[in-house]
């Protein structure tokens, strides 16, 4: 693993993967299986062939007076793609090039996309903090070097989280990415780090009764 790639995953590897002998692990494993199944269904792509799409473009600073996801979603990408909110549907996916999410570390940039129904962002690379925030907030952030070159807006794609494959079902093109480790999938399946930690604590309390 090169140094740059390691930096992208610094926060994730700080967590201890759940033991397969732990009740909480089995419960989270079921969440993960449902997530994998869900994310192998078809999703429509919104493609932006640009590097350095920053957090101000994802959600403008003028809209940061709320943390309500639905309210933020109304302004998602409005400076980059003014018609985005009229086109996006729940389950859709964004595809971009290098350094997606650079700029401010605001989590509003995650909440706006999540509120709009976006289930994953695929980019050649992500800004380090944005990548961490995505996982912590239960939004898939997948690094795939050539996705933006082989997928067009409106194409239907399938993501297989287990095998690390992205299939453009419109063209038949298949791309590869490095699959998430299981414990990262558990965090995403729990819809974020805080929910994951709460579930772990709740499960341990049940075991100790």
Express as a percent the part of the chain with pLDDT over 70: 80
For residues 140-165, average pLDDT: 94
Domains of the chain: 3-14+42-208 (3.20.19.10)
Q: What is the CA radius of gyration of the chain?
A: 17
Q: Which residues lie below 8 Å from residue 166, measured CB to CB, with a gap of 6+?
A: 122, 142, 144, 147, 151, 157, 158, 159, 160, 174, 175, 176, 177
- pLDDT for 3 equals 40
Residue 137 and residue 152: Cα distance in Å, rounded? 27
Q: Looking at the predicted structure, is the pLDDT value of residue 19 above 80?
A: no
pTM, to two decimals? 0.78
Q: Looking at the predicted structure, is the pLDDT value of residue 39 above 70?
A: no
Range in 92-96, 173-177, 204-208 the model is least confident about = 204-208
Q: What letters, b where the CB count within 10 A reaches 16 and e where it falls short, cover 109-118? A: bbbbbbbbeb
Q: Looking at the predicted structure, is the pLDDT value of residue 14 above 70?
A: no
Residue 56 and residue 132: Cα distance in Å, rounded? 18
**Span 52-91, pLDDT tens digits:** 999 999 999 999 999 999 999 999 999 999 999 999 999 9
Q: Return the C-alpha torsion angle 89, 47, 120, 9, nearest 10.
A: -160
- The candidate with the shortest Cα–Cα distance to 116, out of 143, 80, 142, is 80
Q: Looking at the predicted structure, is the pLDDT value of residue 37 above 70?
A: no
Residue 194 and residue 136: Cα distance in Å, rounded? 8
Residue 163 and residue 114: Cα distance in Å, rounded? 24
- pLDDT for 21 equals 35
Q: Looking at the predicted structure, is the pLDDT value of residue 116 above 50?
A: yes
Phi-psi region at 140: left, alpha or beta (left = phi > 0; alpha = psi -120 to 50): beta
For residues 24-41, average pLDDT: 53
- The rounded mean pLDDT for the chain is 83
More confident residue, 169 or 209: 169
**Span 154-205, pLDDT tens digits:** 999 999 988 899 999 999 999 999 988 888 888 888 878 888 888 888 777 7
Distances (CA, A) of 153 to 48, 60, 83: 8, 23, 13
């Amino acid at each position: 693993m090169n140094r740059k790639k390691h930096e992208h995953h610094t926060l994730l590897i700080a967590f201890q993967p759940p033991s397969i002998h732990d009740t909480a692990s089995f419960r989270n494993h079921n969440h993960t299986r449902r997530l994998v199944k869900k994310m192998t269904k078809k999703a429509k792509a919104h493609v932006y062939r640009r590097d350095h799409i920053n957090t101000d473009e994802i959600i403008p600073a003028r809209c940061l007076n709320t943390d309500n996801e639905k309210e933020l979603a109304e302004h998602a990408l409005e400076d980059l793609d003014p018609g985005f909110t009229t086109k996006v549907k729940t389950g859709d996916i964004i595809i971009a090039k290098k350094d997606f999410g650079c700029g401010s570390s605001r989590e509003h940039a995650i909440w706006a996309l999540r509120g709009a129904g976006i289930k994953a962002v695929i980019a050649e690379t992500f800004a380090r903090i944005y990548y961490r925030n995505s996982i912590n907030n239960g939004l898939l952030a997948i690094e795939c070097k050539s996705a933006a070159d082989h997928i067009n807006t409106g194409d239907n794609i399938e993501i297989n989280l287990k095998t690390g494959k992205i299939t453009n079902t419109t063209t038949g093109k298949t791309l590869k990415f490095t699959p998430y480790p299981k414990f990262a999938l558990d965090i995403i399946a729990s819809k974020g780090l805080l929910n994951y930690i709460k579930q772990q604590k709740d499960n341990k309390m049940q075991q100790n009764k």
